[in-house]
Chain A
Amino acid sequence: MSMAHEITAGFMPLFDSAVLVVAGEMGFATREGIELKLQRETSWANIRDRIAIGHFDVAHMLGPMPLACSLGLTPLASETIVPFSLGLGGNCITVSNAVWDGMAAQGAAPDLDPGRAGAALGALIRERARAGREPLRFAVVHPHSGHNYELRYWLAACGIDPDCDIEIVIVPPPFMADALAAGRIDGYCVGEPWNSAAVAAGTGHIVTVKALLWRNSPEKVIGARKVWAEENPEAMAALLRALHHSARWCQDPANRGELAVLMARPAFLGQPEAIQMPALTGRLQLGGGVERSVEDFFLPFDKAANFPWKSHALWFYTQMVRWGQLPHTPQNLAIARDCYRPDLYRSALKPLGVALPGANAKVEGALKVATPVGSAGASLVLGPDGFFDGQIFDPDRIDAYIAGQKRA
């Protein structure tokens, strides 16, 4: 059977590739006339290269990565747009048993409270500095990642300078738990299942989660070659509809078991089903036998999780500027503003009569509780979308936000 569209998509073996994987494996792509060819990759650099030379039309990407590509921050960069977000939340910050013991002695409790955990970590870092010990080493998955920016945001808000008080290195997600166990790193920020993996191995403690640092915040996205999207608008729209149906399926609690089995397959994560469940249920083992439930831990669909908010892209841009990855100029800001494409999302999904946000950007941190909002078609609930330190990001006041950012 020949399909109307053939689309090649790259992905990394991470739980948040689920919406893309399910679109291909559960028939949602076929129903939209798409033959979706999924190709697993071993590094984000490979995904970037293969998008750039046209091996992939679209790919599972870190939220800031298409920005970095479009802004020319990486070698072999190409114009990449974001017409769809693959979900909200899903990451944790995990530390070694030794660091957890040190934090507990400084007042940390196994409650995931970012402020309390950060204060304890700061006290531990100062104590270690006084004793003349090496700075702690934390790992993230990529310099242009939500992980890097949320770890740094948390540290800086707790008075820890991420560039001076600790060291930050890059480690691929599947190696995080092993690196922690071997003592090569003292902590990390990564998506599931690689936090639960360290807890299950008895070598790590989860100290806080993305969903508490910035409620309902962006993580992975679909990055598309701009040239391909412009030349194939029908294929692009068909893919967005397939992803929409897939995301709805992934969110449905009735499908959790089937989704865990699918993602556990060697072609995708190759990790046991049981370890996929915390991402789906939000029930996390923190270590030491403590379990906590996190509301909205990972949302593949609800709360307009798939809408590519320009305010999400612009917040990533402010963090690139904050940590010296690029200068704040009108040209760079314009590129960042054009990278996420809610217009493509809206035009593809409009025929389905589903809830669509009316605005392209929102004031991040303005919604303190889940709030029904006006939208085209059906009803839509957004938020809460607050930062743990109470800061507000207004994308219309970006200069002031950048000026007010401190390094620690």
Chain B
Amino acid sequence: MSTGSLTILVIDENRIRASIIEAGLRDAGHRQVTVIHDVAGIARRIAEIEPDVIVIDLENPNRDMLENMFQLSRAVKRPIAMFVDRSDQASIEAAVDAGVSAYVVDGLKKERIKPILDMAISRFNAFSRMARELEEARSELENRKVIDRAKGILMKSRGLSEEAAYTLLRKTAMNQNRKIAEIAQSLVTAAGLLGPLEGE
């Protein structure tokens, strides 16, 4: 059997991440890849697909149900077990850290599975990094907006220039050992409580 003849099922409720994994598997030469987002009716799908390898995200709350089904269900013709390479503790830890796991049918050689799991681990990590960066970018944008509003309040209420308003925010933040965005948020909240400013 060539590498390409493995039938692989990806179970991931996160559609974007699932498509990233799918693309990775196809890049590695796997042609028979199926992606499932919703576990409803999954026993029937497994019976149809007869996967050799199942890649699953560990956040899936149905993991206990799936593990039990792999072992017992009449839908599964060959027993499916979690892929655990006892000689490679680092790989197990990397998989759990990344939030992914692989289940394989009886009798598959570990040399054939390891590259699939490694690819899934690196793509899961890349996805987490991307999501984190996106979140950081969004909160950065939010911070800039609130700082701008705080500057505007100071400029109006105290007749400061934009630069002086920013310097005041920064100095206050440094004195209180807090972030500028936090000081700005407090000011915006306080201004809101004290009512609309003249001219607003």
Known A76-B82, A170-B69; judge A43-B96 contact (CB<8 A).
no
For A42, what are the chain B residues with a Cβ–Cβ distance below 8 Å? 58-61, 63
> With A75-B81, A75-B84, A76-B84 known to touch, is A174 a contact of B61 (CB < 8 Å)?
yes
Are A55 and B59 in touch, CB under 8 angstroms? no
Question: Residue-by-residue, is B53-64 near A (CB-CB < 8 Å gives 1, otherwise 0)?
Answer: 000001111111
The B-contacting residues of A in range 50-98, CB under 8 angstroms, are 50, 52-53, 55, 74-76
Most B CB atoms within 10 A — which of A46, A142, A143? A46
Interface centre among A45, A52, A174 (most CB of B within 10 A): A45
Chain B residues with Cβ under 8 A from A172's Cβ? 61-62, 64-65
Cβ–Cβ contact B81 & A46, under 8 A: no
Interface membership of B67, Cβ < 8 A: yes
| A69 to B135 Cα, complex, angstroms | 38
Indicate if B92 sits at the interface (CB-CB under 8 A): yes
Contact A49 B68 (CB under 8 A): no
Nearest-neighbour CB distance to chain B for A266, whole angstroms, equals: 16
* Minimal Cβ-Cβ distance residue in A for B67: A45
Q: Are the C-beta atoms of A170 and B82 separated by less than 8 Å? A: no
Set of chain B residues within 8 Å of A175, measured between Cβ atoms: 61-62
Interface residues of B in 36-87 (CB under 8 A from A): 58-65, 67-69, 72, 81-82, 84
Interface residue count on the B side (C-beta < 8 Å): 20
Q: Tell which of A53, A141, A142 touches B92, judged by Cβ atoms closer than 8 Å.
A: A53
Take A55-B96, A75-B84 as given contacts and tell me if A143 and B61 are in contact as well, using a CB distance cutoff of 8 Å. Answer: no
The docked-state distance in angstroms from the alpha carbon of A53 to that of B99 is 13
Complex: how many Å from CA A74 to CA B92?
A: 15
Closest A residue to B99 by beta carbon equals A46
* Chain B residues proximal to chain A, CB less than 8 Å: 58-65, 67-69, 72, 81-82, 84, 89, 92-93, 96, 101
Contact B68 A170 (CB under 8 A): yes
Q: How far is the CB of A5 from chain B (nearest CB, A)?
A: 23
A171 an interface residue at 8 Å Cβ cutoff? Answer: yes
A141 touches B82 (CB 8 A): no
Q: List 27 A-B contacts (CB under 8 A).
A: A42-B58, A42-B59, A42-B61, A43-B60, A43-B61, A43-B63, A43-B64, A45-B58, A45-B67, A46-B58, A49-B96, A50-B96, A53-B96, A75-B67, A75-B82, A76-B92, A143-B68, A169-B65, A169-B68, A170-B64, A170-B65, A170-B68, A172-B61, A172-B62, A172-B64, A174-B61, A175-B61
B120 to chain A, nearest CB (A): 15
With a cutoff of 8 Å between Cβ atoms, the chain B residues found around residue A141 in the complex are: 64
Q: Assuming the A-B contacts A75-B84, A76-B92, are A171 and B65 also in contact, with contact meaning beta carbons closer than 8 angstroms in the complex?
A: yes
Interface of B, secondary structure class, is helix
Nearest-neighbor residue (CB-CB) of A145 within chain B: B64
Interface size class of A (residues with CB under 8 A): 20 to 34
Mostly helix, strand, loop or mixed at chain A's interface?
loop
Which of chain A's residues have a CB closer than 8 A to the CB of B60?
Answer: 42-43
A-B CB proximity, top 3 nearest: A75-B82, A43-B63, A170-B68
Question: Shortest distance in angstroms between A332's beta carbon and chain B's nearest beta carbon?
Answer: 19
Interface residue A301 (Cβ < 8 Å from any Cβ of B): no
Question: Does residue A188 face the partner (Cβ distance < 8 Å to B)?
Answer: no
List B contacts of A43 (CB < 8 A): 58, 60-64
Q: Mark A151-179, 1 if CB is under 8 A from B, else 0.
A: 00000000000000000011110110000
- Residues in A neighbouring B68, C-beta threshold 8 A: 142-143, 169-170
CB-nearest residue of chain B to A184: B40
Residues of A within 8 A of B69 (CB): 170
CA distance A175 to B63 in the complex (A): 13
In the assembled complex, the Cα of A94 lies from the Cα of B68 at a distance in Å of: 22
Query: Who on chain A is nearest to B86 by CB?
Result: A76
Q: Is the Cβ of B96 less than 8 Å from the Cβ of A45?
A: no
What separation, in Å, do the CA atoms of A142 and B67 have in the docked complex?
Answer: 10
Cβ distance A153 to chain B, nearest Cβ, rounded Å:
19
Contacts of B65 in A (CB 8 A): 169-172
User: In this assembly, does A44 line the interface, its C-beta being within 8 Å of a C-beta of chain B?
Assistant: yes
Chain B residue nearest to A171 (CB atoms) is B65
Specify which of B64, B84, B92 is in contact with A45 (CB 8 Å cutoff): B64
Which chain B residues lie closer than 8 Å to A49 at the CB level? Answer: 58, 96, 101
Near B by CB (< 8 A), chain A positions 160-210 give 169-172, 174-175
B168 → chain A closest CB, angstroms: 34
- Docked pose: A74 CA to B101 CA in angstroms: 14
Q: Is the CB of A53 within 8 A of B61?
A: no
Alpha-carbon distance A43/B68, docked complex (angstroms)? 12
Nearest CB in chain B: distance from A58 CB, A: 17
Shortest Cβ distance from A44 into B: residue? B64
Apart from A42-B61, A175-B61, list 8 A-B contacts with CB within 8 A: A42-B58, A49-B96, A50-B96, A76-B84, A142-B64, A143-B72, A170-B68, A172-B62
- B71 (CB) vs chain A CBs: closest residue: A143
Shortest beta-carbon distance, A197 to chain B, in Å? 16
From A42, which residue of chain B is reached at the shortest CB distance?
B61
Alpha-carbon distance between A170 and B68 when the two chains are bound, in angstroms:
7
Contact A45-B63, Cβ < 8 Å, known A50-B96, A53-B93, A143-B68 = yes
Q: Chain A residue with minimal CB distance to B89?
A: A53
Interface residues of A in 295-334 (CB under 8 A from B): none
